[in-house]
Chains A and B, each alone.
Chain A
């Protein structure tokens, strides 16, 4: 299948100030994301995962290597706006990405910038709001919404630009459990129903258990590229990268350690309970 995103030998440095050494934020990173996939990028703070987000959205440019979105290189200046339209971006703080004082006008902000004709705007905004289940809130003010709702509005704002891919940079870090579930369900539905490619950057492993593919970042390097199942069981490897595997995986790991042989790649407690039943038989 065609690649939505292709990162090829990318390195990136942050300038820290005069006389100080630049910090290598990304060190020769390469990976691809296929069209329609739901992928997770995970790593602790400072691992380079947020830098990737900004490279994908042509906010930063690679020091060396190339970032291709739908085959367009972010280095070509004439592509920038097309790239930003194709690969929309959601940020961490739900408050700091709402521009307008009324929900529906905020959703319209992106397509307005793209110069979408007035006649089409209403339809786009309504459809996007319906998609995230926030249509009834279209006349609300941002401060009347919960964190999770604000984040869904931000997603609607990107959807209204009709992107092929959505990149979310720790979208749930500032939300309560209810808000987290709302946002995660919304993006999962988008991926399934609209076949939108989703790149979810997070530091919660349990958010990405059912991803098609995950990328683990550590100190600017790509440490893992593959299926969640194959890596979540490597509890010690994950802990070395300062990541915490899901509860069920932790339990099965401890069980194995104390001499009970159980499948080590369980990701949820239901799965774990089933496996324990199998043992008894």
Chain B
């Protein structure tokens, strides 16, 4: 499903002395099946932005279109929107409330009025790598942090969205938990051809996974381009105070020292191969 924004703006506390422009005239188009990364500092407008994509907030000016249809248009219900755009917020384990994992995952599916709830729950659990029989009757509150998070993600998947938005899905997890979650998101994207939008502070995480990157700064969409090009715009990133991935930094350091490396690369495996290639050649 494609997501498009036209002159999207949002002002909090409009018409008051506290008025604050959180989003300023944002235009973008995300294609069906793309994997988009969103970067920016805390307070750059990232979370205001994603809340517009499933209508938790409505733009004070401009439009958000899903497959060409304005989600704030006449006759469109909130339910129609959240059905298509699933959002997994930061620390999503806080949204768990039922006494069994099954019931919690079924919550969204039931709200959407789906029929085969059990089938959907089962599929969602498999998608996040939780064994249905083993986990379905367990209480979500006794799980580890990473597992709770996967239950929460399954709860969103159970609504069968075409667009999946994840806000810092790995924050607070240990390195292994992080890796597992990202592996999971990657396979999900492949298997279901979900249009995926990932908000993350970690350049390393984003660089390994995103096709294109949106850079937010002070409510503006500073840049929206292929990952390679965004990381090549070091000056802009530096001005905003954002870092580039360590892998890319290494290539730049080597280039500086006269090595003939391809500095367009940024994925960890590619970078290692490149370093090895250049050294073996020389």
Contact = CB atoms under 8 A, between A and B. Distances in A.
Interface stretch (B64-72, B188-196, B229-237, B249-257): B249-257
A131 to B, nearest CB: 24
A104 to B, nearest CB: 24
B172 A174 contact: yes
B144 interface: yes
A139 interface: no
B259 A176 contact: no
A255 B250 contact: no
Given A177-B243, A247-B268, A254-B276, A269 B253 contact: yes
Contact of A44 (B171, B175, B202): B175
A225 interface: no
A277 B257 contact: yes
Nearest to B203: A177
Interface string B261-282: 0000000100110011001101
B42 interface: yes
Q: Which of B177, B257, B268, B279 has the most CB of A within 10 A?
A: B279
Interface string A143-178: 000110000000000000000000000000110111
Nearest to A179: B42
A279 B271 contact: no
B201 interface: yes
A41 B144 CA distance: 21
A59 interface: no
A178 B201 CA distance: 9
B257 A273 contact: yes
B41 A178 contact: yes
B42 A176 contact: yes
Contacts of A178: 41-42, 241
A244 interface: yes
B29 interface: no
B198 to A, nearest CB: 15
A280 B135 CA distance: 55
Chain B interface: which size bin? 20 to 34
A204 B173 CA distance: 10
Contacts of B282: 280
Interface in A243-271: 243-244, 247-248, 250-251, 254-255, 258-260, 269-270
Contact of B250 (A146, A174, A254, A272): A272
B211 interface: no
Given A254-B272, A255-B272, A44 B246 contact: no
A242 interface: yes
Contacts of B276: 254-255, 258, 260
Contacts of B171: 174
Interface-central residue, B42, B171, B177, B259, by most chain A CB under 10 Å: B42
A279 B280 CA distance: 11
A203 B172 CA distance: 10
Given A146-B42, A260-B279, A177 B202 contact: yes
Nearest to A273: B253
A243 B177 CA distance: 11
B225 interface: no
B272 to A, nearest CB: 5
A272 B247 CA distance: 11
B13 interface: no
A276 interface: yes
Nearest to A241: B176
A247 B246 contact: yes
A3 interface: no
Interface of B: 41-42, 144-145, 171-172, 174-177, 179, 201-202, 204, 241, 243, 246-247, 249-250, 253-254, 257, 259, 268, 271-272, 275-276, 279-280, 282
Q: Which 9 A-B pairs have the closest CB atoms?
A: A273-B253, A244-B175, A203-B174, A247-B246, A242-B176, A269-B250, A176-B201, A254-B272, A45-B174
Given A259-B280, A276-B279, 4 more contacts: A44-B174, A177-B243, A250-B268, A255-B272
